[in-house]
Structure 1
Amino acid sequence: MSSDLLVIGAGILGLSHAYAAAKRGLKVKVFERSATPLGASVRNFGQALVTGQPPGQMLDLARESRDIWAQWAQVAGLQLKRNGSYLFARTEAEEHLLQAFCSDRAQEHGYNVELLQGAAMKDLYAGQFRHHRAALHGKDDQQLYSREAIPALVQYLSQEMNVKFHFSTLVRDVEPGQVHSTAGSFRGEQIIVCSGHDYQTLLAESMAQLNPQTCRLQMLRARPTLNLNLQHALLTGLSCVHYGAFADLPEAAAVQAQILRETPHLHEQGIHLLISPTPHGELIIGDSHHYDSDPSPFNAEQVDDWMIELAEHTLGCKIQVVERWQGVYGARGPGPFSFVRAAPGVSAALMHSGVGMSVGPALAERNISSLWGGAR
């Protein structure tokens, strides 16, 4: 039996496309080479950030994705924290940057933020973070536990949306109207390849024209020695030179100069601290950034040590590492994402940055809308 849409890859982009099509009443099949999603979509922080996105298309996508995540949390039972994030200013330069952001860009583009300073800063978490100069509360930011959220979304799509999944199934080839896999051949009106950082198995020639790379990240799961009861995602001013909402502001130059002058190793290793609480009282901590066509499989203990030091200073307490792993995502293409029409009825959806959880749901909605429009 022919399907309307065949999706290759059960990461966040693949599942988002499947959802956008299924809610239109379309018949959807999803193929995933492993028994459960194991790529970028479950190795990340689970931060769906609105605040960090630059004005324009990415900010719009993050806001639209925020609403979709809220829908999924309601219907699929995802644990979704909707009370935002805190970005801490540790230095005078970082504080000035956050002040400039709030007084200008945040107002112009409607970022839902509040800058905590002075007494408000001392009251935050009973004074646990009073050693920082200020905190930007990004009120629209959301956070989830990807390892549980992605399987829950798969279950919802399968049981409630009639999406058919083929796990442990390698798709060997795609052509207009047909997918050839280890489970047989399947017919579909449209085929969308959401293969993450795999640029060689499917549509390799089309992907090669984008000149993409892969980003490898060192990441940790840890227990704090204090019961922080953390209910927000945490970032520091290091993120201001990484995220587009801040990085092009004039005040960011002083932050970058201070990093290069005082902690050049953080710049060299692409380290900017993110901390996400899990539903189980632990913290996901990272990350570093290493780019290549074939990233090294070997982690450097020194990089982990630097991240642990940053985390302990930010949290104001010691942590105990319980797990280490490599994050990974597709990176450095012609823009933050691509939707490539490789052949009639055959497309590839690719992220070129680590914000798939933040913008992927709305990006898929737009892609499916471009192919089918509204509900059938």
Structure 2
Amino acid sequence: MTDLLIIGAGILGLSHAYAAARRGLKVKVFERSATPLGASVRNFGQALVTGQPPGIMLDLAQQSRDIWGEWARVAGLQLKRNGAYLFARTEAEEHLLEAFCAGRAREHGYNVELLQGAALRDLYGGQFRHHRAALHGRDDQQLYSREAIPALIRYLSQELKVEFHFSTLVRDVEPGRLHSTAGSFRGEQIIVCAGHDYQTLLAEAIADLNPQVCRLQMLRARPAVNLNLQHALLTGLSCVHYGAFADLPEAAAVQAQILRDAPHLHEHGIHLLISPTPYGELIIGDSHQYGSDASPFNAERVDDWLIELAEQTLGCTVQVVERWQGVYGARGPGPFSFLRAAPGVSAALMHTGVGMSVGPALAERNISGLWGDTA
């Protein structure tokens, strides 16, 4: 009998496979497509520590940072560990970053530096001098998900002997057994890591969590000038989305400014994230639309707003080369759930779009809870 059967080869499935396999457990992973195509490869590849709120999410992000570093070493992932920059474009955003650095960052040990004046003007040869300040989140990391996820799969398969079954749909799970298009398999524990698919497996148990789906519009573009960008970028818009900042008193002025000057950004949940690829291009997004299902129809004006924000932030024009839709699980009873649906049958779900940031450590926590700290 196999020790652990995992459904889903996204970041949560792979993180659970790693946590179990490094404990010496026998692991099999089942993925319905020939290669992962869900949220784990559609994202920005930003493993953010700085944006996480104090408490369990910050702890998980800091622990996940170390795991990503280990994966980069053993699996050959291209991982940028030089942090991310969050730009303040307005006085209200600058005051919020100043308050964060003076208070919460010191109290909870965020590894950050606020660049203003000459330090900001010197950044990238003055390319971003039109901003008021830049928060350098030194612990933030960035990778190219489309290549990192396959590299992690190769490492798990070749070095840790995890057995993968791709193009295999799991139809049903029950204590000790999994039924799929490749036959039935026995396992001591089964963990469903099926992303935003709430209906194929454990539908009744998952429905009790009342989760939703979030869809995002995203782009890949070439900047008109060679920026040689080596950091992920955000703006003060992100401060009203990320828990590290959103509940600070100074965030209210930022939110009021958005509602007054750009209510469409609030309406569509738009805040700017930019990630450089290894090939000189930029991944740009994103918007947020919540519901029980992800509409297949993109709004061109949302892409226009994203491009406009990106060009304002970068100080140059960009040429779009690819567009796509991200989809992830959202709005459950908390930021994540580990649901014990039946004896030996569990589901690991993210209810927010930070699976890359906290998933590796979350899986360690879940596997430890099932088998104890035997690593």
TM-score by structure 2 length? 1.00
Paired with 2:188 and 2:86, the residues of 1 have a C-alpha distance of 45
Q: Per-residue CA shift, 1:161-187, capped at 9, x if unaligned?
A: 000000000000000000000000000
How far does the alpha carbon of each residue in 1:259-298 deviate from its partner, in whole angstroms, 9 at most, with x for none? 0000000000100000000001100000000001012110
Letter in 2 for 1:225: A
The superposition leaves residues 7-58 of structure 1 with CA deviations (integer Å, 9 ceiling, x where unpaired) of 0000000000000000000000000000000000000000000000000000
> Could you say which residue in structure 2 is the equivalent of 1:58?
57
Whether 1:136 and 2:135 are equivalent positions in the alignment is yes
Q: What's the CA shift for 1:374?
A: 2.5
AA in 1 matched with 2:116:
Q
Cα displacement string for residues 193-241 of structure 1 (whole angstroms, at most 9, x for unaligned residues)? 0000000000000100000000000000000011000000000000000
Deviation, structure 1 residue 329: 0.3
Indicate the residue corresponding to 2:279 in structure 1: 280
Are the counterparts in 2 of residues 23 and 375 from structure 1 also a CA contact under 8 Å? no
Q: Which residue of 2 aligns with 1:157?
A: 156
- 1:352 corresponding residue in structure 2: 351
1:291-316 residue CA offsets vs partner (Å, 9 max, x unmatched): 01012110000000000000000000
Work out whether 1:179 is the aligned partner of 2:178: yes
Aligned to 2:19: 20
Q: Which residue of 2 aligns with 1:77?
A: 76
Q: Give me the whole-angstrom Cα distance separating, in 2, the residues matched to 1:294 and 1:207.
A: 15
Q: Distance in 2 between matches of 1:328 and 1:363?
A: 20
Identical-residue share of aligned pairs (%):
86
| Unaligned runs of at least 5 residues, structure 2 | none
Partner of 1:323: 322
SS at match of 2:122: helix
- Matches of 2:205 and 2:52, distance apart in 1: 28
* Alpha-carbon distance in structure 2 between the residues aligned to 1:14 and 1:296: 25
Query: SS of 1:107's equivalent?
Result: helix
Residues 241-272 of structure 1, C-alpha deviations (whole Å, 9 max, x = no match): 00000000000000000000000000001000
Aligned residue for 1:169, secondary structure, equals: coil
Distance between the aligned counterparts of 1:5 and 1:22, measured in 2?
9
Contact kept, 8 Å, 2:294 with 2:327, in 1: the verdict is no
Q: How many corresponding residue pairs?
A: 375
**Secondary structure at the residue paired with 1:221?**
strand
Structure 1 equivalent of residue 360 of structure 2: 361
Structure 1: runs of 5+ lacking an equivalent: none
What RMSD in Å do the two structures reach over aligned CA positions?
A: 0.5
Matched, 1:147 2:149: no
Q: 2:184 matched to 1:201? A: no
1:375 deviates by 2.7
**Offset of 1:129 from its aligned partner?**
0.1
Q: Distance in 1 between matches of 2:347 and 2:373?
A: 21
- Which residue is equivalent to 2:211? 212
Once the two structures are superposed, the pairs formed by residues 237-256 of structure 1 within 5 Å of their partners are 237-256=236-255
Distance 1:80 1:300 in 2: 33
Paired with 1:17 and 1:111, the residues of 2 have a C-alpha distance of 27
Letter in 1 for 2:260: R
Residue 48 of structure 1 aligns with which residue? Answer: 47
Distance in 2, Cα, partners of 1:145 & 1:295: 24
